[in-house]
Amino acid sequence: MRVLYIDIDTLRPDHLGCYGYHRNTSPNIDRLASEGVRFDNCYVSDSPCLPSRAALYSGKCGIRNGAINHGGEAADLYENPDEREFKAQCDNFTFQLGLAGLYPVTVSPFGQRHSSFWFYNGFREMYNTGKTGDEPADEITAVALDWLDRKGTQDDWYLHVNVWDPHTPYSRLPDELGNPFENDPPPAWMTEEIRRKTWDNYGPGSAQEPGGGYFGNKSPEDLGAPSQVDSMASYKGWVDGYDTGIYYADLHVGKILDKLEELGILNDTLIVLSSDHGENMGELSVYGDHQTADHITNRVPLIIRHPEGLGGKGRVDRSLYYQFDFAATLLDLFGGEVPESWDAKSFLEDFRNEREGGRDYLVVSNCAWSCQRSVRWSDYLLVRTYHSGFKNYPDKMLFNVEEDPHELNDLAGDRPDLVAEGMEKLEEWATEEMSRTPRREDPLWIVMREGGPFHARYTSSDFEGYKERLRQTGRSKYADELDERRQQLKTWPH
């Protein structure tokens, strides 16, 4: 049997039709969901891009694998020098796929984009499309389709295809695509009152600096979206750009499925579709970026379509899973051994029997744009902020994400009992994880010691420059607040 893993960067599940979205963004992905199993509560343990894939390919949470940032000491997988031998990282997911009898191939610029050359470990063929994630889907799928034409009818391959189109800038999309959603309203949860609150706020990614910027100097032509979210029309422009990126990626999912069918191998190919993280579109005052450890950034789609219907067809699994649990399940399915070093757990038995399994709770993190760890359990998400990423997040936020998926109502002040329960789970998790690593220091504290996450360090020139921008745009009080936050950081243990 063959395996196709479709990896669509920056894809939040609730903007897909099969997850209930009101726009027709994803007919081909929806088809896969109707023929397989859709997982409603799958989260990457670590976000965004580099930490997410480091977790997937190592099978470990970032607190253990060490790669939790986009720069600095904690942007590389940790290698214990006492255990570093002639061969290293042999518990890597791709390496293990090879041991299980699969021939692993990747079409992705990810390794170069993030200087994460461990990513290539175990692949037998590696195709770097060369534009570090700025290439549109047609340039990625052209390579994948060519490979399928040449080798697709061979058996026992694992093909990873990584497209980027929902990621900013939306200007990478072809002009002839136009705006398929020009006449479709944006999501109804965003109102003018909510938008205004994000406008009167601050931080990279906020309404006055969307898309992860600090200084508002990105043009609409460069972004493929409005340079500020200064009206509901501008908000619609951002959502239209993002959704068009999803639509374009989905078109190319369809092209790959058509190729499998043309080659006569669709009914012998297991297909997995997921992402490295989601994308906030106004949640927690972030537009067009992935800066938080929350329900929006860390929750990803997961669809598994088995050619023989294993797991069920059109079934929905609402249990809690880490994304890397599918890696353990895949190894288990092919008779491989799930490494004891992994945090990932196979759910194959539950999958076979079409029942929900999952975990009691998850801990998810983001240490590249902020320093946050969050606990997801029952209906709730507790966000623990150690470094706000130049934003005004309190130390603890609590959301009922089943009733309030866009995180508009912070319950922390009203439910101290749930805050205490979440913090107890976080402490339990951290203690267990640190007991399974030879490292003496949690890598989160390495990031904090460096001044904060790579994209929002108090030691960077961006910090001083952003304070000046805040003063120039009538937000001087926030510049003073950032100085206070910097002083508070100095009191953390180092």
Q: What is the DSSP string of 94-127?
A: HHHHHHTT-EEEEE-SHHHHTT-GGGGTT-SEEE
pLDDT band at 492 (very low <50, low <70, confident <90, very high): low
Residues 336-361 have a mean pLDDT of 97
* Residue position matching structure tokens 């936050």: 485
Q: Mean pLDDT over residues 349-353, rounded?
A: 98
Q: How large is the average pLDDT for residues 384-398?
A: 96
Does 214 score more than 60 pLDDT? yes
More confident residue, 212 or 291: 291
Question: Would you state the pLDDT for residue 113?
Answer: 95
For the chain, first and last CA: distance in Å?
51
Query: Residue 103 has which token pair?
Result: 């021939």
- Cα–Cα separations (whole angstroms), residue 252 to 233, 305, 388, 444: 29, 17, 37, 38
Q: Chain-wide mean pLDDT for the chain?
A: 96
Q: Can you list the positions of beta strands (E) in 329-487?
A: 361-366, 371-377, 380-387, 396-400
Question: DSSP class of residue 178?
Answer: -
pLDDT at 213: 81
Residue 82 is predicted with a pLDDT of 82
Q: For residue 366, what pLDDT is reported?
A: 98
Looking at beta carbons, which pairs linking 117-125 to residues 24 or more positions away fall under 8 Å?
118/54, 118/57, 118/76, 118/77, 118/89, 118/92, 119/53, 119/57, 121/57, 121/89, 121/92, 121/94, 121/95, 122/92, 122/93, 122/94, 122/95, 122/96, 122/97, 122/98, 123/94, 123/160, 124/98
Q: Phi/psi of residue 431, each to 5°?
A: -65, -45
The reported pLDDT for the residue numbered 491 is: 60
The per-residue pLDDT for 490 is 64
Average pLDDT estimate for 164-177? 96
- Average of pLDDT values for 118-129? 97
What confidence category does residue 368 fall into, taking pLDDT thresholds of 50, 70 and 90?
very high
192-199 and 232-262 helices, crossing angle to 10°: 100
Q: Over 80: is that where the pLDDT of 45 sits? A: yes
* Chain segment 437-487, per-residue pLDDT in tens: 988 899 999 999 999 999 999 999 999 999 999 999 999 999 999 999 998
Q: Judge whether residue 299 has pLDDT over 70.
A: yes
Measure the CA dihedral 451/454/460/461, to 10°.
Answer: -160
**6 membership: H or E segment, kind and range:** strand 2-8
Where in the chain are the domains? 2-358
**Do the Cβ atoms of 31 and 185 come closer than 8 Å?**
no
223-269 pLDDT, tens digit each: 999 999 999 999 999 999 999 999 999 999 999 999 999 999 999 99
Residue 89: predicted pLDDT:
87
Rg (CA), the chain: 22
Give the list of residues 6+ apart from residue 384 with CB closer than 8 angstroms, or none: 372, 373, 374, 375, 395, 396, 422, 423, 426
Band of the pLDDT at 314, cuts 50, 70, 90? very high
Write down the residue that tokens 């001044």 correspond to. 451
Residue with tokens 């196709």: 4
- What is the distance between the alpha carbons of residues 303 and 101, in angstroms, rounded to a whole number? 23
Would the pLDDT of 79 be above 90? no
E-assigned strands of 235-313?
269-274, 280-281, 287-289, 299-305
Amino acid at 139: E
Does pLDDT of 436 surpass 70? yes
Is the peptide bond between 169 and the residue preceding it cis, with omega within 30 degrees of 0? Answer: yes
| Spatial CB neighbours of 235, under 8 Å, sequence gap ≥ 6 | 186, 190, 195, 229, 282, 287
Mean pLDDT over 71-86 rounds to 90
Confidence at residue 364, expressed as pLDDT on a 0 to 100 scale: 98
Residue 296 pLDDT: 98
Q: Give CA–CA dist 305/273, Å, rounded.
A: 9
**Does the predicted TM-score (pTM) go above 0.75?**
yes
Amino acid 103: pLDDT: 98
Take residue 206 and report the two structure tokens written for it: 């906020």
CATH of domain 2-358: 3.40.720.10
Under 8 Å between Cβ of 253 and 271: no
Asked whether residue 494 carries a pLDDT value surpassing 60, the answer given is no
Task: Give which of 67, 78, 81 is closest to 110, Cα–Cα.
Answer: 67
Confidence at residue 439, expressed as pLDDT on a 0 to 100 scale: 86
